[in-house]
Amino acid sequence: MRASTHDLAALSATHRLVLRLVWTLLALFAGMFQPAIAADRPHIVYIVADDLGWKDVGFHGSDIRTPNIDQLAKTGAQLNQFYAQPMCTPTRAALMTGRYPFRYGLQTVVILSGQTHGLDTEEWLLPQALKEAGYQTAIIGKWHLGHGDRKFWPRQRGFDFQYGPLIGEIDYFTHEQHKVLDWYLNNKPLKEKGYSTTLLGNAAVRLIDTHDKAKPLYLYLTFNAPHTPYQAPEADLNRYRHIADPARRAYAASISAMDDQIGRVVAALDRRGMRDNTLIVFQSDNGGVRNAMFAGEGDLSKTKIPNDNGPYRDGKGSLYEGGTRVAALANWPGRIAPGTQVDGMMHVVDMYPTLARLAGASTTRSKPLDGLDVWATIAQGQPSPRTEVVYNIEPFRAGIRQGDWKLVWRTPLPESAELFDIAKDPGEKTDLAAGQPDKVLAMKRRANELAAQQAKPLFLQAEFGAMRQRLHLPPALPGEEASFNEEN
């Protein structure tokens, strides 16, 4: 039986309709398995200041003018118990890995300009996880996680775009350290004029202005301000003519210059219609300097250190609150209520899992994380899931907080252990160790448990090797190196 022309036409029309339905369903199902569109996942602008004192922002009561940072704090969440590592390389490593630096050897001091080690390439970093999830990733500013070998550089660690210095300290105008240029654009040295803070702001604004808004953006904007050397343009210095001390004047001016650039970045996000879907996080990498030994590679022995950590004891390099509790905030319009005060404990390692979940990024390729997802604490006021903070674990000292109790333990003989009730005594003025021997013993056990997991500090190994070279000794045998690290 042969079909009529009418039957064939009807079949063809039906066939076309079925095909359209099939393709529609396929498209819908395909969409279900695609990464969430940018409207569902935030752009992330993560801003890090360098050696900023806890009190040296307006929202903590400073006379230093930071109106743009203050506005972000006012319209977002102030993170009142946000902890970093005592120095900058360890903090930056903790942010990138979601893991405490003692696990991979970056717990002690920083990577100096003459050293060649870096962040272990077996660590799966936050930009790698975000890039895998479809983010455009960019670092504008200081890296400080390895410069001596290109395998440690940002472009090799998950960043699509890189601009700025690789080491820890540069001249703001020449972009040099020890007369060697340290200013790069996508792995290539770049010689250009300008104040580093302004140049970094310019680059961030250009990136935002040219960004494809359909793709989520992760911008790691990491200023070298207000780290030494204390420098600022004349116009910024003139804002603080009333400050007699030249170091404090330049320090204050460099902070206000950084604040200006942060304001420009926020304005660029507004201009591009990206602001309402952008999470901005701001923090210092450690507390402000109080001891010239930790100020930088230059000689500041005759300089009056200008940083102010407010009520907190000591500063950068120490395990006390002044070295580790840092100025921090989070801001996302419509997702974080204005004026939120977050009092729960959180540590910089928590940012990795928190941001990864918001971004729809997998953490399965990372090593076991120390960080916890604290988004509900930031955005909904829920109690922090964090009950312990590890300030640091090193061969010669440890700092641990469990609940309100904090132990600072120095192990070189004669050892000393201090115990503080941080809730009642945030300034760490009263040592309670003598009256709480059981608590001290329990927290020492915890420190030893963590110390058994630590990698040997790469800084000490580098210094040991350099010392042998200076003394014209042969390279250390494995046993000798182990013995040195155990003793130090």
Q: Which residues are catalytic?
A: 88, 144
CA distances 136 to 66, 160, 184, 359, Å, are 29, 7, 19, 12
Place of tokens 């410069």: 147
Tally the residues of the chain.
488
Tell me the three state secondary structure of residue 253: helix
Label residues 55-84 b or e (16+ Cβ within 10 Å = b). Answer: bbbbbbebebbbebbbbbbebbbbbbbbbb
Residue found by looking up tokens 């503080």 in the block = 420
Q: Is the peptide bond before 101 cis (omega within 30 degrees of 0)?
A: no
The CA distances from residue 419 to 168, 185, 267, 399, 436, in Å, are: 33, 47, 46, 10, 8
Distance CA 166, CA 142 (A): 6
Residue 144 DSSP symbol: -
Contact status, residue 148 vs residue 115, Cβ threshold 8 Å: yes
What is the Cα 146 distance to its own chain's centre? 15
| Contact criterion met (CB below 8 Å) for 114 and 357 | no
Q: Which two tokens stand for residue 376?
A: 């509900």
